[in-house]
């Protein structure tokens, strides 16, 4: 994984000059009757944006062709396209990866795109900016919450979670909700960073990275304790073993009455609440509080490929997607939380019987995902050691220190 990530960074550098030279276009270019390519990964969101694209074409004469690639293949396919100087004109970007794309000249500056910046939370604009230049226009944000199965809570006689829950409350409830004879676990505990052990690390006042992003934080005692708290559900028998959570995602486990609780993101709203059982039997509450309450938060952005021959048309498409009208249309669909202030109420009302407000309120205690130089590569190398912890092959401290050593090598480059 390390070699593949780093080789991609080198490839980005090699293609940057070609992208800069081949893609320069006049701002006066005629964009009518232009066709642009739009790269994204979420098939649940695609129909919503396809409807917006139809309206956009009627108004502008610009046609948008969609290229939908599943998340598991998205970055590999994009890597190949960038290397071949054939990336989509506009494509989705996330916070952890934007730094490498900016540093290597793959994405176009977008400070000239017209939209109401006062309506976009500054932390997300900052995440996509470098030295005063904007390189990605945020389209949405996510946060995580504690999902719970009402039936399993009722059967165990446990009160539903709320904002008063602490780590101690949480651990006690998970133990009571576990029924080994029926194969039911109190807590889904995937060895995942976002919506998983990063939340616990931050809630314990640890940090996966130093403040300047130049060193790993995994050798910090508070970080190790946070990681160990997450794993302790598994160690104590109230959390899903790795073989179960690896083969079946936690949404399916919640919907099939196999787990009572799980931390998951707002992106699961259309999946779980779009299911008949989920609509009736599942709800959400804030993540239980450690030393403080924290959720990680990502914001997807639309970026323009530096090598695009249709930059002005691409920028018009991004500007259209960032209007209040477009953002509210997305909100009403329920597929994601638009980043545009004032549009979130429509998203909350897309499932009025559910506590979706918890995801919006979470922005107040959210920590943006890391986006330092080489931090995406550093995050990628965590998985091997975390898996060893989950299987009991090594203890948490040993695994965390091994992560720190490997990450420091990457972050020093």
Structural domain spans, the chain: 2-141+298-368, 144-297+381-411
Interacting residues of 255 by C-beta distance below 8 A, sequence separation 6+: 272, 275, 277, 278, 282
pLDDT value of residue 32: 80
**Tokens, residue 89:** 């004109």
Asked if 2-141+298-368 and 144-297+381-411 have one fold, the answer is yes
Our CA angle for 39, 114, 300, nearest 5°, is 35
Question: What are the structure tokens assigned to 357, written together?
Answer: 């407000």
Q: What is the pLDDT of residue 280?
A: 96
144-297+381-411: CATH topology is: D-Maltodextrin-Binding Protein; domain 2 (3.40.190)
pLDDT tens digit string along 323-368?
999 999 999 999 999 999 999 999 999 999 999 999 999 999 999 9
- Is 2-141+298-368 assigned to CATH 3.40.190.10? yes
Token pair, residue 82, equals 């960038």
**What is the chain's percent helix, strand, coil content, to nearest 5?**
50, 15, 35
Which two structure tokens, joined as six digits, stand for 408?
Answer: 């420091």
Q: What is the pTM of this model?
A: 0.87
H helices present in 143-241, as ranges: 150-156, 167-177, 198-203, 221-235
As a whole number of angstroms, the distance between CA 84 and CA 77 comes to 11
178-183, long-range: CB within 8 Å, 24+ apart, which pairs? Answer: 178/237, 178/238, 178/260, 180/237, 183/258
CA distance 215 to 5: 18
Torsion of CA 33, 37, 43, 46, to 10 degrees: -30
Name the nearest CA neighbour of 111 among 132, 128, 139, 134.
134
Q: What parts of the chain have a pLDDT lower than 50? A: 1-11, 13-28
- The pLDDT value recorded for residue 386 is 96
Distance from C-alpha of 17 to C-alpha of 7, rounded to nearest angstrom: 17
C-alpha pair distances (Å), 192 with each of 266, 385, 390? 16, 12, 11
């Amino acid at each position: 994984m390390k070699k593949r990530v780093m080789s991609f960074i080198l490839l980005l550098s090699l293609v940057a000059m070609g992208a800069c030279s081949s893609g320069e276009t006049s701002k006066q270019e005629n964009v009518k009757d232009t066709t642009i390519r739009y790269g994204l990964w979420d098939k649940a969101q695609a129909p919503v944006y396809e409807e917006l694209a139809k309206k956009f074409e009627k108004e502008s004469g610009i046609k948008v062709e969609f290229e939908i690639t599943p998340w598991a293949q998205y970055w590999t396919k994009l890597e190949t396209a960038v290397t071949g100087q054939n990336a989509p004109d506009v494509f989705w970007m996330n916070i952890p990866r934007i730094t490498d794309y900016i540093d290597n000249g793959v994405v176009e500056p977008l400070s000239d795109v017209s939209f109401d910046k006062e309506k976009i939370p500054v932390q997300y604009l900052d995440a996509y900016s470098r030295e005063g230049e904007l390189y990605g226009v945020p389209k949405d944000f996510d946060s995580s919450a504690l999902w719970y199965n009402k039936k399993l809570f009722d059967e165990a006689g446990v009160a539903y979670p709320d904002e008063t829950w602490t780590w101690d409350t949480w651990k006690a409830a998970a133990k009571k909700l576990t029924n080994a004879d029926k194969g039911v676990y109190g807590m889904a505990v995937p060895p995942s960073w976002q919506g998983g052990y990063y939340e616990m690390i931050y809630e314990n006042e640890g940090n996966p990275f130093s403040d300047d992003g130049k060193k790993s934080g995994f050798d910090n005692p508070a970080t190790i304790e946070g990681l160990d708290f997450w794993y302790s559900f598994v160690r104590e028998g109230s959390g899903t073993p790795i073989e179960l959570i690896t083969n079946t995602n936690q949404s399916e486990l919640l919907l099939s009455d196999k787990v009572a609780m799980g931390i998951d993101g707002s992106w699961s709203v259309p999946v779980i609440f779009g299911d008949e059982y989920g609509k009736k039997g599942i709800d959400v509450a804030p993540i239980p509080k450690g030393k403080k309450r924290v959720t990680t938060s990502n914001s997807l952005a639309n970026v323009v490929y530096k090598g695009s021959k249709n930059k002005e048309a691409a920028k018009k498409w991004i500007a259209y997607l960032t209007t209040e009208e477009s953002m509210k249309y997305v909100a009403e669909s329920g597929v994601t939380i638009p980043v545009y202030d004032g549009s979130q109420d429509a998203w909350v009302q897309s499932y009025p019987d559910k506590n979706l407000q918890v995801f919006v309120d979470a922005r107040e205690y959210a920590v943006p995902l890391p986006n330092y130089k080489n931090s995406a590569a550093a995050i990628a190398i965590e998985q091997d050691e975390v898996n060893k912890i989950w299987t009991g092959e090594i203890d948490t401290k040993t695994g965390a220190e091994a992560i720190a050593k490997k990450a420091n090598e990457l972050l020093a480059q």
